[in-house]
Amino acid sequence: MTSNYLEAVRAGLMSLKPADRERALEALAAQLAELGEANLDPAVALGDAGDYAAQLSAALTDPPQPADPQWRVLGLPVETRGPGSAEVRTRAWDPLNPRIIVPRIFGLGWRLNYGALAVRLGLLRPDDASPEVFEAISEVELRVAQAVPAVIAGITSITLAASWRKLPRKAPKATLILQAALGAIPAAWAQLPQEHPEDRLIRAALSSSMAVLSVAAVATTVAQAQTKNPQQDRWELLPLAAVPVAGAATLATLVVPIRRALSRIWSKHV
């Protein structure tokens, strides 16, 4: 009876995102088991399966999507909630949203949705990044992903500290500290304890890209302070060149563990 009820509800949830649907059905399976223990008929406790599915679907359908900005100013999206909000953070990684360009996580303008990019590049399918797959990512893989920004930011800070005394007098030291912090603070943020593997990976990936940009900014500032021919050397182009590298680091931090988890799940079913 319980499995029939569950399947009937599943049929009524097909309009939901696959990840939301599976999560809701997993919870419902546990709840039906509890009702069974209490000798309660699901059809009596929850009502007709079709009606209950409609109720559940309504509860899980967001009026505003995470991809929607908080405000718009002269047509430009504006977001003030920042990466502290999980809902806003998912904009950076939403494979189910086909839009590659989405509103920024914080501030004015747009940014890349790495989930859509991974789908467009053929690295993943939109529904590959399900809760089941994230649960299959091992603790070691999560820690390696979290270590990426920490290692990059750590090397930047240590190298900068070691060469501090040798820096030219005209080197803007306060700027250098700020540029190193640009990588170190997000890297520390990525290490904060988090329950959900998806959240841990998104934080690690976003921090990896910040760490790469931080290296480029520090290297540019040092090189500009040391150069004798600023007109010819064009060191200011280095941060621009680092942007695709930062994007690649973000994608790799997210996609590699997901694909490894997918391979493990597929190998179990083949």
Partner 1 sequence: MPMDKAIQLRKGVLELATLAVLAREECYSIEIIEHLGAHPALAATPGTVYPLLARLDKTGLVTTRWVEAPGGPPRKYYRLTGEGRAMLTGGTMAWAALSEAMTEILEKSA
The nearest distance, CB 33 to partner 1, in angstroms, is 4
27 counts as binding partner 1 under rule CB under 8 A: yes
Nearer to partner 1, 34 or 236 (CB): 34
Q: Does 37 bind partner 1 (CB under 8 A)?
A: yes
Q: Does 227 bind partner 1 (CB under 8 A)?
A: no
Indicate the SS3 state at residue 234.
Answer: coil
* Structure tokens that stand for 242 in this block: 């680092």
| Sequence letter at residue 99 | R
Distance CA 253, CA 145 (A): 6
Q: Give the binding range for partner 1 (CB under 8 A) out of 25-33, 149-157, 179-187, 261-269.
A: 25-33
Q: What crossing angle do the helices spanning 139-162 and 238-269 adopt, rounded to 10°? A: 160
Contact map string, positions 192 to 221, toward partner 1, x by CB under 8 A: ---xx-------------------------
Stretch that binds partner 1, among 26-34, 137-145, 213-221, 226-234 (CB under 8 A): 26-34
DSSP string for 135-191: HHS-HHHHHHHHHHHHHHHHHHHHHHHHTGGGS-TTS-HHHHHHHHHHHHHHHHHHT
Q: Per DSSP, which regions of the chain are E strands? A: 71-73, 76-79, 101-103, 107-108, 110-112
Q: What is the largest CA-CA distance in the chain?
A: 83
| Residues contacting partner 1: total by CB under 8 A | 28
Q: Which residue of 46, 117, 180, 246 would you call a contact of partner 1, by CB under 8 A?
A: 46
Positive or negative torsion for Cα 132, 256, 203, 112: negative
Residue with smaller CB distance to partner 1, 79 or 215? 79
Q: Give the interface segment with partner 1, choosing from 54-62, 145-153, 159-167, 233-241 (CB under 8 A).
A: 54-62
- Smallest distance from partner 1 to CB 17, Å: 10
Burial class (CB in 10 A: 0-12, 13-18, 19+), 113: buried
In angstroms, rounded to a whole number, what is the distance separating the alpha carbons of residues 208 and 211? 5
Question: If binding is defined by CB under 8 A, does position 35 make contact with partner 1?
Answer: yes
Q: Shortest gap between Cβ of 139 and partner 1 (angstroms)?
A: 15
- Applying CB under 8 A, among 49, 56, 254, 262 the residue interacting with partner 1 is 56
Asked if 11 is part of the footprint of partner 1 (rule: CB under 8 A), the reply reads no
Is residue 139 a contact residue for partner 1 (CB under 8 A)? no
What count of residues does the chain have? Answer: 270
193 by DSSP, 3-state: which?
Answer: coil
Is 135 a binding residue for partner 1 by CB under 8 A? The answer is no
Site of interaction with partner 1 (CB under 8 A):
20, 23-24, 26-28, 30-31, 33-35, 37-38, 40, 45-47, 52, 55-56, 58-60, 85-87, 195-196
